[in-house]
Amino acid sequence: MTTRADAAPAAALLNSATRHSGARCIALCLMSTASTGAGLLLPAALGRALDLLLAHSPATRWVLYCAGIVLLLALLDACETVLGGTVDARTAAWLRRRLTGHVLAVGPRAATRFGPGDLVARLVGNAAQAGTAPAARAALLAALAGPVGGVVALGLIDPWLAAVFLAGGPLLTLLLRTFARDTTRCVADYQKVQGRIAGALAEAVAGHRTIAAAGTAGKETARILRPLPELSRAGHRMWRVQGRAAAQASAVAPLLQLGVIAVAGVLLTRHRLSVGEVLAASRYAVLAAGVGVLVGQFASLARARAAAGRLDEVLAEPAVTYGDRRLPPGPGHLELRGVTARRGDRTLLDGVDLVVPGGTTLAVVGRSGTGKSLLAALAGRLADPDGGEILLDGVPLRQLTHTDLRQSVGYAFERPALLGTTIEDTLALGPQPPSPARIREATRLARADDFVHRLPKGYATACADAPRSGGESQRLGLARAFAHDGRLLILDDALSSLDTVTEAQIAEALTQGSDRTRLLIAHRAATASRADAVAWLDGGRVRAVGTHAQLWRLAGYRSVFGDGGPA
């Protein structure tokens, strides 16, 4: 159930979206109101033309007035359609840019909190639904002006006509209020279930090879579609609410219209109204009872508010904040002081103290699940610890400016995301794109130059047109990390898909041909043996630090590698 406290942030987001398209919304509001005004003039003009025709008086001018009003209505309707679509598209684009920027500012925590599939559902579907709010708000004034203008026009024809209609006004107001409340609740439930289905689908797409190999496509399909009955129930509730409101309005509105026409007929027999005025009154009664238009507008606003609430849940996640300190000159000395990190109720790192002297290579080893990748993420501030502090050349990472931090720390991952139009764009990705010469040097260092040269257009080959193995993708990720300057390089299992010869060549170049500080997450004994020192993680703590040869004497350390590898 949506409370007022829940609705307030969503309303603030919709207010910002409306201000973004403020000029267009004002134009749309004026155009819609003008269309409503023209619609209110038409019954009066038709009634006057009818009276003149019945009196055998010249009515050409009034017939032309009626034709002109009809043409104006058609023109305004076309303009409303175009302008309304423009406002919807512009607002949805603004919401998507804002949401995308915030998700990137939050970082990996956003995907952990909501899941990739649900985030995509919010970014695509919910942003489009919320984007309809400014146009719906602009049109709401005209939708209200129609019934209000109809009642006023009835009063101008004869006060008794307005009085008869207003007798049922409170009932119509109650129906609209109940409809708006119930619709908002049903739409919110529907959108939540949609997000769950999208999340399950994204997981299945990411693991399609595993599903195919296991032969469990049927089970996965059933898992993805399991919430479908709940979605169906929510959808049926939504349509039942809208149908009930339409049925109630349809029951009340004709009674009010019949009441107005009956009173108009009585007044006609008493010669207080003309035939043309009776015609006008019948049309104004329809306009005054235009609850159907209001129901549609309120339904659109309810869907937009519910969608905006789902967007605001993402925007409420705090973004990573940065300090204003600059890094002093230094060799890239990295220090972890009492670092504690949790994931849910589980403590993965517990009071870790670790020092990586500038210009040296430290390999971090440990069994699966001991927090190695989390430590790598913390070391370059892709995540923040729950306790303790991490310093680079004596400056806490939290206090560094965004520019200094990202220019000073480079990453290579086990499964690199190769973003960019071409291979060269991918390798240049970073705060300061390196020169083409530097890119080619880094590619050679990562042993990826032969693979790139075999591509149809070399470095200009589109990433989508460059079929590659896991090892080739890793080498491109390494080349991207090598191409950028920085004092700290973090390799999160970035050599795992390479063959042993290539891994040895790259590890050799890394440990001997660079003055950058290197932090390696290692799973192979050969990789650890080339590092200046090894940190052995066990049970969330640093069990020991030393050279690989020194630690190899410990049976527990050897068991991390299955007692294999060189001593």
pLDDT tens-digit profile of 395-416? 999 999 999 999 999 998 888 8
Q: Which of 140-144, 206-210, 389-393, 443-447 has the lowest mean pLDDT?
A: 206-210
Interacting residues of 493 by C-beta distance below 8 A, sequence separation 6+: 372, 373, 413, 414, 521, 522, 523
Quick one: average pLDDT of 48-67? 89
Is residue 565's pLDDT more than 50?
no
Considering the domain boundaries, does residue 242 fall inside one? yes
Rounded-to-integer distance, Cα 442 and Cα 431, Å: 17
Domain boundary among 254, 283, 315: 315
Considering the domain boundaries, does residue 325 fall inside one? no
Structure token digits, residue 11: 């309303």
Question: What confidence tier does 172 reach under pLDDT thresholds 50, 70, 90?
Answer: low
Place of tokens 């630090």: 545
346 vs 337, residue with greater confidence: 337
For the chain, the maximum distance between any two Cα atoms, rounded to a whole number of angstroms, is 117
Reduce the DSSP state of residue 232 to 3 states and report it: helix
Considering the domain boundaries, does residue 199 fall inside one? yes
Amino acid at 557: Y
pTM of the model: 0.73
Rounded-to-integer distance, Cα 218 and Cα 204, Å: 12
Is residue 182's pLDDT more than 80?
no
Considering the domain boundaries, does residue 320 fall inside one? no
Domain membership of residue 428 as a residue range: 334-560
Across 467-540, the runs of DSSP E, i.e. the strands, are 488-492, 517-521, 533-538
Quick one: average pLDDT of 30-37? 89
Q: For position 285, what pLDDT does the model report?
A: 84
Question: What confidence tier does 490 reach under pLDDT thresholds 50, 70, 90?
Answer: very high
- Asked if 542 and 429 sit in the same domain, the reply is yes
- Asked if 32 and 90 sit in the same domain, the reply is yes
pLDDT tens-digit profile of 274-301? 898 888 888 888 887 766 566 667 777 8
- Asked if 310 and 339 sit in the same domain, the reply is no
Question: What confidence tier does 566 reach under pLDDT thresholds 50, 70, 90?
Answer: very low
In the chain, the number of structural domains is 2
Q: What's phi and psi for 218, nearest 5 deg? A: -65, -45
- Asked if 210 and 293 sit in the same domain, the reply is yes
- Asked if 138 and 249 sit in the same domain, the reply is yes
Is residue 4's pLDDT more than 60?
no
C-beta separation of 452 from 439 below 8 A: no
pLDDT tens-digit profile of 91-135? 999 999 999 999 888 887 888 788 888 888 888 888 988 998 898
Q: For position 500, what pLDDT does the model report?
A: 79
Question: Cα separations (Å) of 365 from 7, 10, 354, 534?
Answer: 48, 46, 13, 7
Question: What confidence tier does 245 reach under pLDDT thresholds 50, 70, 90?
Answer: low
Structure token digits, residue 187: 């739409």
- Asked if 296 and 403 sit in the same domain, the reply is no
Question: What confidence tier does 177 reach under pLDDT thresholds 50, 70, 90?
Answer: low
- Asked if 8 and 47 sit in the same domain, the reply is yes
Q: What is the CATH number of the domain that holds 485?
A: 3.40.50.300
- Asked if 350 and 295 sit in the same domain, the reply is no
Rounded-to-integer distance, Cα 67 and Cα 62, Å: 9
Interacting residues of 501 by C-beta distance below 8 A, sequence separation 6+: none
Q: What is the CATH number of the domain that holds 289?
A: 1.20.1560.10
Quick one: average pLDDT of 361-365? 93
C-beta separation of 331 from 173 below 8 A: no
Considering the domain boundaries, does residue 68 fall inside one? yes
Q: For position 207, what pLDDT does the model report?
A: 72
- Asked if 284 and 387 sit in the same domain, the reply is no
Reduce the DSSP state of residue 334 to 3 states and report it: strand
Q: For position 136, what pLDDT does the model report?
A: 86
Strand partners, 545: 535
Considering the domain boundaries, does residue 450 fall inside one? yes
Measured between its terminal Cα atoms, the distance across the chain in Å is: 63
Question: What confidence tier does 7 reach under pLDDT thresholds 50, 70, 90?
Answer: low
Considering the domain boundaries, does residue 64 fall inside one? yes
Quick one: average pLDDT of 60-65? 91
With both helix axes pointing from N to C terminus, report the angle between 60-106 and 22-54 in degrees, rounded to the nearest 10. 160
Question: What confidence tier does 249 reach under pLDDT thresholds 50, 70, 90?
Answer: low
Q: For position 120, what pLDDT does the model report?
A: 85
Top-confidence range, 6-10, 228-232, 554-558? 554-558
Rounded-to-integer distance, Cα 427 and Cα 417, Å: 11
Is residue 508's pLDDT more than 60?
yes
- Asked if 401 and 295 sit in the same domain, the reply is no
Q: For position 340, what pLDDT does the model report?
A: 95
**Burial of residue 437, with CB atoms counted within 10 A of its CB: 0-12 exposed, 13-18 middle, 19 or more buried:** exposed
Mean confidence (pLDDT) of the chain? 84
- Asked if 19 and 93 sit in the same domain, the reply is yes
Q: How many residues are recorded in the chain?
A: 567
Considering the domain boundaries, does residue 167 fall inside one? yes
% of the chain residues with pLDDT over 70:
90
166 vs 334, residue with greater confidence: 334
pLDDT tens-digit profile of 511-520? 665 678 999 9
pLDDT tens-digit profile of 211-223? 777 777 788 888 8
Rounded-to-integer distance, Cα 203 and Cα 232, Å: 22
Domain boundary among 266, 286, 315: 315
Domain boundary among 266, 283, 315: 315
Amino acid at 190: Y
- Asked if 340 and 299 sit in the same domain, the reply is no
